[in-house]
Amino acid sequence: MDRDALRRIAEAAEAGDDETLVEVGAGTGLLTRFLAERARRLIAVEVDHRLAQRLRQEFSARPGVSVVEADILSTPVEELLERGGGGLPYVVAGNLPYFIGTAIVRKFLHAAVRPRRLIVTLQKEVAESMTAAPGRLTYLGVETQMYARARILLRLPPRVFNPPPKVHSAVVRLDVLDTPEVEVDNRGALLDLVHAGFAAPRKRLRNSLAIGLEIEPPEAEALLGAAGIEPEKRPAELELADWRQLYFEYRRQAGAVKD
């Protein structure tokens, strides 16, 4: 990645003196060098032993920089912070591997101890899905926006990377909410319902939800009507508040909760 893009990512992290900055996938240290200039405490996480060793050598004279050799997806956040000598609150930054970028974001958004914000590079289509407005929402967008305010900071063409990838990229900022945007008794169950609603995203909601819940379309239509939602809408058109209302109606009919 070129220096201007790296600098802009590091600046966007806005690591304060009270914050630990966690870099995911430090690699050869291209972004690490820019982050180290702006963070009082930086934990560079790298799974590759050889690269981690190189990073330790390069930053050995920087007491504010720690290198943690770990698999980001299998290592608890609390362990990463402890091993890196950091504490709360913390911020996440990194150029994420495309094939696990979504999983990494989900890990931090669902963690028991969530970051204040994430500044991460993802494949452009994934970034656009996370930040989409109603009308273009996907399951990933609903899930992300339950936990964070999401926006694209920077779009990156392949030429800014060496070697250039075959896809375009984007830098996303996720400001994590103190309280999830949709507060329910069981967020996992809510996400299961949203996932069911997007079972066939190109279809009308009555049909998509019927497929996802394995019920007949008239049953799905009645459920949607009871929740005050137009059955002819498509899943992408619903707002987060609509999913909350549908969740409570679904659970109410199942006798599970009272709103």
Domain residues of the chain, as ranges? 3-176, 187-253
Domain pair 3-176 / 187-253, same fold: no
Average pLDDT over residues 44-58: 97
DSSP letter assigned to residue 237 = G
Portion of the chain with pLDDT greater than 70, in percent: 98
CATH of domain 187-253: 1.10.8.100
pLDDT at 253: 86
pLDDT, tens digit (0-9, with 9 covering 90-100), for 199-230: 999 999 999 999 999 999 999 999 999 999 99
Indicate the pTM of the whole model: 0.91
Q: Residue 256 and residue 252: Cα distance in Å, rounded?
A: 6
pLDDT at 258: 47
Q: Tokens in use for 173? A: 């900022």
**Looking at the predicted structure, is the pLDDT value of residue 148 above 90?**
yes
* Contact by Cβ (8 Å): 68, 45: yes
Give me the sign of the Cα torsion angle 119, 124, 129, 134.
positive
Q: Residue 236 and residue 108: Cα distance in Å, rounded?
A: 24
Task: Phi first, then psi: give them for residue 226, nearest 5 degrees.
Answer: -65, -30
Which CATH superfamily groups domain 3-176?
Vaccinia Virus protein VP39 (3.40.50.150)
Q: Tokens in use for 205? A: 């909601």
DSSP track, 97-164:
-TTTHHHHHHHHHTSSS--SEEEEEEEHHHHHHHHPPTTS--HHHHHHHHHEEEEEEEEE-GGGSSS-
Q: Tokens in use for 18? A: 């009270």
pLDDT, tens digit (0-9, with 9 covering 90-100), for 84-111: 999 999 999 999 999 999 999 999 999 9
